[in-house]
Structures are given as C-alpha cells and as structure tokens.
Amino acid sequence: MAPILAVNNLTKTYGRLVAVNDVSFAIQAGSCFGLLGPNGAGKTTTLEVIENILPPTSGDILYKGHPRAATFKNEVGIQFQQTSLLAMLTVWETLQVFKALYEHTENLDNLVKQCQLQEFKHQRHENLSGGQRQRFLLALALVNRPQLLFLDEPSTGLDPQARRNLWDIVNAIKASGKTIILTTHYMEEAQHLCDEVAIMDHGRIIARGAPEAMIRKHCEGVTVVLPRRSFRQPLETLPLNLQEINGAVHIQTSNIDDCLKQLLSCQVDLSDMSVHSPNLEHVFLNLTGRQLRD
C-alpha cells in the first residue's frame, strides 16, 4: 500500500545552519509516527516543512503519492508547539471561526465532547489552564476532520495527569483511523502513542523503526544506575559497559547477576542503585552518548 506521506531527502537550511539534513521517511495511513529527539534536533522544522508552513531548501514531500496540492491544507490538521489565537474570543467562538475556514468540518458539539472541553467552552481561551489549552488546540486541529494530523510537542509543559489525559484522547483519535505525526522529546510518550518512531539528532534521522524493535536492536538487558560517588576508583578501570551522565553512572548489561558480582568485587557502594528496563531514552543514549534532555 502506498504511504499517505513520503518525505524524500528533505533538507532545510538557514544560511550556514543546516536545520534538517537529508531526511527521508514514509508513513502508512492510519499509523502514528513519532519524531523523537532533543530540543534543537530539527523535529519542528521538519514538521513545519511538511505542513507547508516553511519552504524546503531541497527534497520532495509527497502526499498520497503526489506533491502537495492546494487542497492539502483542507485535509490536514495542525497543532503547533507554540501558537496564539485571535484575542478576546471564547473557546466555542474560536472553534466556530476555524470551522468557517474549512469546507468539510466536524460537528463542534462532538469535538468539544471528544476533547473534554464542555466545561470551558464559553470561557475565553486565554483563561484556560495548560492541559485545557492543549486539548483546545487539539480540537482546533481536528475541526476540519483531517486525514493527517500533525501534533508538535503536544504534551510539553503538562503535568503527568494532564499528559495521560491527552494521550487517551490521541489514542482515541488514532483508533478512529486518522494518521498522526507527532514530535516529542518524551520517550514515554513516543512509546505509548507511536507505531513507528524516527530519532533525530542534529537535523538527521539516526534511527528509525517500531519502538520495541528499536529498543531490542539498540539495547540489551537492563540498565543499572548508580551515583558517581558510589565508585571509589576511576571508571575506566572497571571491566563494564558504562557511561557517566550528569553525575550518574549507567551500566548496560544482559546479565545482571554477573554485573552485580563485578560491582561488589570492585567494592562499589550499591545502596543507591536502581535498575531500569531499556527504553527509547537508552536507545538515544547508546546512539549519541547523550541524554534526550541534555
């Protein structure tokens, strides 16, 4: 089946700065695709070029097998990472304004219910809390019944409860058959929502695949984490696969028993030890030597 969106050798530069460097990927209809990476990796720029907000420096973007036509804006929904709206309007009025800009639109009552905005629909949008505002921006992105939905860092700045709440809504949207492309620097979000992720760093895609498959491919066993102060000796003298990040020592091992024995034999203090299953954060760490939020 032809992908709903194909990005081929996309590059975007600002003078000498290469924000997006020869990026290619394709997305199947009905899937949720995540662009994962630290701040400044080029995720938002990639997304905005695909959305037709920014022009590409080079490369092709094909929507349903063809270059994006004038109708593209009618068929996609966009939630920006940071945006402002027309001032002094209520949630309901803003939805009405956006509804009037499109040809095929969603029933606003359904949309308000879907995004859990019933209680706030007659409030001015400037007065919404962070979580309410993100759900409202999501509703605006859905107002035209889009086939393809762009979500740029949808849960940034939300508390854990609000984030979970938003994920539930996004999962429901996904279940309705829409294709979603989202950017995030929360590996947990990517793992929870995405069928496929591409990890970006310095404008390039450095790894791509299903989250579980990527973890299996790039990480083995578990990660043991200890504070640096637990070690008396220089780390390079230890016969372990370890990395020091922000004052913590990360040890990856496929055999935790052997790892613990070696640590004990080296007289490492294990009182502050924690053990983690690998996740996309570790994939990024293994690929770049840095944490996602460095």
Residue number, 86 or 210, with CB nearest to another protein: 86
Binding interface with another protein (CB under 8 A): 51, 53, 73-74, 78, 80, 82-89, 93, 96-98, 100-103
Least distance between another protein and beta carbon 135 (Å): 16
Least distance between another protein and beta carbon 83 (Å): 5
* Pick from 22, 28, 82: nearest CA to 49: 22
| Alpha-helix residue ranges (DSSP H) falling in the chain | 43-50, 72-75, 91-100, 108-114, 130-142, 160-175, 187-193, 211-218, 256-265, 280-288
Residue number, 47 or 222, with CB nearest to another protein: 47
Least distance between another protein and beta carbon 133 (Å): 13
Least distance between another protein and beta carbon 104 (Å): 11
Enter the tokens of residue 184: 């995030």
Residue number, 101 or 264, with CB nearest to another protein: 101
Residue number, 135 or 218, with CB nearest to another protein: 135
DSSP state of 236: G
Residue number, 46 or 253, with CB nearest to another protein: 46
Residues of the chain by 3-state class (helix, strand, coil), percent to 5: 35, 30, 35
Cα-only R_g, the chain: 22
Least distance between another protein and beta carbon 103 (Å): 8
Query: What residues are paired with 249 via a beta bridge?
Result: 226, 244
